[in-house]
A and B are shown apart, each in its own frame.
Chain A
Amino acid sequence: MAEEALRATPRSRPARRPRPRPTRFLKPLAWLSAAGGLTAAATLLAPRVPVPDTFGPALFERLWFDDTWQQWSGYLLLAFSVGALLFGARKRLRPARRFGSYNWWRLFHAGLGICCVLLLFAHTGFRLGANLNAVLMSCYVAALLLGALAGLSIAAAHDLREMGIGTPGRPLFRTLIMAHLAVLSLLPALLIAHVLVVYLY
């Protein structure tokens, strides 16, 4: 009986917590986020690439001032942006979870973010634009920067906690993701207005 009682006691003892499995792809996520953040910041900080002052088919001038080329780069940018939004769909649509782990989707999301920055460069050439376009561009760049910072803070979550930044209940990346989503929420209306202006005038 006593032996049985002894065997039973471990049940009442607090169970030993399983050792946390290391999150996968954190390093690549950190690298991609850093690269994305830097290129997005360059959009704001780097000088404009000058337009050549000689007549002829110049790639950059076509990219940034030819309506047809801008239309293509714009739609490509839209397609990649929608692709990046699919990351949110994984959480809400159960069938989507069959296509890779959460960590893999997150890495893919960061990769698409970098593609978006590059396409944004192709579409605008680091130009902020004017009026409505300036608002749209600012929101887009802010969304990219916040996304990149969120990625970095996820990759460095443990270190940040040790440094006293964020709490286990409210880590820094959660705040950054919320800010990323808040800015993103403005984009559909601004994008629709941008496309309307292009086709109307």
Chain B
Amino acid sequence: MSRKAWIWVLWAAATIGACWMLAAWMLVAGDRRPFLIGETTDAHHQFEIACETCHAAPAFADAAKAEKALNKACRTCHDKELRAADDSHSTKRFRSPRMAAFREKLDARFCTSCHVEHRPEITRASAVSVAMDFCVACHSEGEQDVRKNRPSHAGLGFDTCASSGCHNYHDNRALYEDFLVKHAHAEWLALSPAHALAARQRSRAPAPAPEAALGRDDAAAPTAALGSAATVDDWAGSGHAAAGVNCAACHAPGAPGNASLSGIEPHWTDHPGTAACEDCHRPQARTFVLGRHGMRRHPRIAKPRDPAKELEALGLGDWLPEGLLAALEDPSPPARMAVHEARLPMRAEAAHRLLDCGSCHRPHAVDTAFAAVEACTSCHDDRHTRAYVGSPHHQLWLAELAGEAKPGTGVSCATCHMAKFKRRGLVVTNHNQNDILRPSEKMIRPVCLDCHGLRFALDALADPDLVERNFDGPPTVKVKSIDWAVRRAAAGEPEAGK
């Protein structure tokens, strides 16, 4: 064979081999990040390694089926949140034949019409991938023309609908007209400002020391594992010790309840996982996996593919040689988020930290005051966080900690970002710190209104510089929606609903 023929043969073999490997990589197993067409958005990048979490349709499914599966995946995680928000533009609403004309402009039945993933260039705030004046699609003509329905809106651009503090696409619980009118005349600060649920939680009298309450000398752990005296002191002063939770409850969960020290020892682990916390703190654990701190543990994140099963599904049981099959393996998504993976500014010295319960709650002291502020500021390094220290909210927090102010009057990071809720008569802290983060108006009802008037809260949240400065003064932005709503109500115009 001539030299040229050899080159052709070698090239063909190399090309076929490369295609074969690339196809196996994509269809059977392997790290698929090299195939990503663009950067994944801020939240989703944490599990981009597990493509099937979103791309749930079978391989080579037709486009309609693939889109349906993709949108179903969105709703798997976000449906509850949208229901709770009383979604103003629910997909259900757009399924009606009456909405056909609107669907042609922007098909709001699908999340992916506005939120396309892996397209950083067209991804705007809140992962919106259409131009931010998208309201123009449906609200610029016919019955829905806001400029006709609302004389006050006549000269407004559609790019201001969502950016002015007036409207959100999904969550308008704090922005609909009735609500605005109802709270129109509230003072900027309540007479006795305090967070009702926080006050209830913090003012709860400590339960009378049960017989099971433990002290420093009761710490039951193998001598080698007992650690420093400070560790034992931390535990002895914690709620765990007060509730009779001894070392073995977390460090030797497999040991029988009344096991002696020798019975504990075989089950002992120096570094118990989060499962030890989850056993008792279920509502907190359930909400933790919904936020960006803990979403790597979300149960709906796809598990690594099983190469043998994937081949079987493709009808190619023996397609790959055994040795090659063993070499192909999906990388397991890490169980915990690392600080250095965050896309917000973080402290360099915190880069190595992994996020789990113990990252914020020092595991032995379980000090919620530390978790509410210092835990946040020890990692986050953005202007808003840095400005918190010394801000009016921080002063209130320090006063409450010092016992100089009533419970619930202090404002910590957790007060605003981890709103509390009631569950079976108990006040529980929502550990999904992203639940009410964006759009920021979501924060108004569960947090701001406890202390501030709606007008003040709307203005403050619409002032980006003030947010950055962590509310160190009065807002300079004025949201007009309350005045307009009051004027409409006074004129007896029909209320437009939520």
- Residues of chain A touching chain B, judged by Cβ–Cβ distance below 8 Å, are 48, 51-56, 61, 65, 67, 127, 129-133, 185, 188-189, 192-193, 196-197, 199-201
Contact = CB atoms under 8 A, between A and B. Distances in A.
B144 to A, nearest CB: 15
Given A53-B132, A61-B122, A131 B37 contact: yes
B60 A131 contact: no
Nearest to B117: A201
B60 A200 contact: yes
A171 B100 CA distance: 65
Given A55-B131, A55-B133, A55-B136, A189 B15 contact: yes
Q: Which 5 residue pairs of A and B lie closest in terms of their CB atoms, listed nearest first?
A: A189-B18, A193-B22, A55-B131, A55-B134, A197-B35
Given A55-B136, A55-B158, A197 B15 contact: no
Given A54-B133, A55-B131, A130 B26 contact: no
B131 to A, nearest CB: 4
A52 to B, nearest CB: 7
A133 to B, nearest CB: 6
Contacts, number: 73
Nearest to A193: B22
B102 interface: no
Interface in B389-444: none
B19 A200 contact: no
Max chain B C-beta neighbours (<10 A), residue from A61, A127, A188: A188
Max chain B C-beta neighbours (<10 A), residue from A51, A65, A189, A200: A200
Interface string B119-132: 10110000001111
B59 interface: yes
Max chain B C-beta neighbours (<10 A), residue from A48, A129, A131, A201: A201
Contacts of A192: 19, 22-23
B34 A189 contact: no
A131 B36 contact: yes
Contacts of A200: 26-27, 55, 59-60
B35 A193 contact: yes
Given A55-B137, A130-B37, A200-B59, 7 more contacts: A54-B133, A56-B136, A65-B116, A189-B15, A196-B26, A197-B35, A201-B35
Contacts of B18: 189
Contact of B122 (A51, A129, A188, A201): A51
A52 B136 CA distance: 15
B33 A131 contact: yes
